[in-house]
Amino acid sequence: MPEADVKEEKNFHLDKPARSEPFFLKGSNSLDWGLKNRLSQIFRPESGKTVMLAIDHGYFQGPTTGLERVDVNILPLVPYADTLMLTRGILRTIIPPTYTRGIVLRASGGPSILKELSNERIAVDIEDAIRLNVAALAVQVFIGGENETQSVHNMTRLVDMGNRYGIATLAVTAVGREMVRDAKYMRLATRICAELGATYVKTYFVEDDFETVTAACPVPIVIAGGKKLPELDALNMAYNAIQQGAAGVDMGRNIFQAEAPVAMIQAVRKVVHEGAKPEAAYDYYMTEKKAG
């Protein structure tokens, strides 16, 4: 029997306004449900932040130190990462399909370290990205570089393809050797990426005025780790970036090249998600390192 719609027997909670909560990520309120859901597999809704583990270096430089055996060196770190940034080759061959957090797929490539790096093309079909169930597509953008227009075009094409299916685009601002790594350049590069549709942007932390970079960028910014630093310096950098408006880190070498990588990624989590001071996170790192 179908249920009779008798108003007296139902409770419509007429005294309660309908819930309409803003999405937790900067600039993301107008995105579609699927895209927001995927972003929630990258950023933790509780903190609004992410610890991305970047292991995609092999796409242009082969077996990077610390990534010679991803199965041996990286799988133990996976449970502590909010998301993995990697190539489809490593994803298919090594990452267990039981992994349920977001995948950020390296979607540009072409030249190796032996050639002009900025000469990249889109390196993945959207169909394959969907097949791999990824949350975001990552693309290098070389503002001011020799192939600036081409790399921006790679990004805008990925934005269009990703938006069609609710997949985010991470624009990675690649700073050429000839560029000055300062806030002025980072403001320019990150803002261009956001204006042209990137869902979020990865850039380098700069000591002076980094808060103007995050302020001028209407979408979340995560910072790149960069070359290996002493562990306390890397934690300091992460702390300063978060305090100045970054929504997380996308860190590779400073985690997997650390003396104790599992302890290091947990220490980074403390800084990013709990706002721990670098010294406290470093103490934690040293304790875990000794225990391990």
The set of catalytic residues is: 202
Please list the residues that pair with 144 across neighbouring strands.
none
Shortest CB 61 distance to ligand R5P, Å: 8
Nearer to ligand R5P, 64 or 133 (CB): 64
Shortest CB 22 distance to ligand R5P, Å: 30
Shortest CB 200 distance to ligand R5P, Å: 14
Q: How far is residue 252's CA from residue 238's CA, in Å, rounded to a whole number?
A: 13
Nearer to ligand R5P, 31 or 172 (CB): 172
Classify each residue of 103-138 as buried b or exposed e, where b means 16 or more C-beta atoms within 10 Å of its C-beta: bbbbbbbbeeeeeebbebebbbebeebeeebbbbbb
Nearer to ligand R5P, 167 or 255 (CB): 255
Please list the residues that pair with 86 across neighbouring strands.
105
The helix (H) or strand (E) run that includes residue 169 is strand 168-173
Binders in 2-41 for ligand R5P, by CB under 6 A: none
Binders in 41-70 for ligand R5P, by CB under 6 A: 54, 56-57
Instruction: Show the site string, 243-262: x = touches ligand R5P by CB under 6 A, - = not.
Output: -------xxxxx--------
Binders in 88-107 for ligand R5P, by CB under 6 A: none
Q: How far is residue 197's CA from residue 231's CA, in Å, rounded to a whole number?
A: 34
Angle, vertex CA 125, rays to CA 121 and CA 126, nearest 5: 120
The residue number whose beta carbon is nearest to ligand R5P equals 225
Shortest CB 56 distance to ligand R5P, Å: 5
Q: How far is residue 170's CA from residue 290's CA, in Å, rounded to a whole number?
A: 36
Q: Is the dihedral of CA 208, 209, 210, 213 positive or negative?
A: negative
Nearer to ligand R5P, 31 or 154 (CB): 154
Instruction: Count the site residues for ligand R5P by CB under 6 A.
Output: 14
Select the residue interacting with ligand R5P from 109, 145, 225, 278 (CB under 6 A): 225
Tokens of 47: 């903190």
Binders in 117-156 for ligand R5P, by CB under 6 A: 140
Nearer to ligand R5P, 25 or 268 (CB): 268
Q: How far is residue 157's CA from residue 144's CA, in Å, rounded to a whole number?
A: 19
Binding site for ligand R5P (CB under 6 A): 54, 56-57, 140, 172, 174, 224-226, 250-254
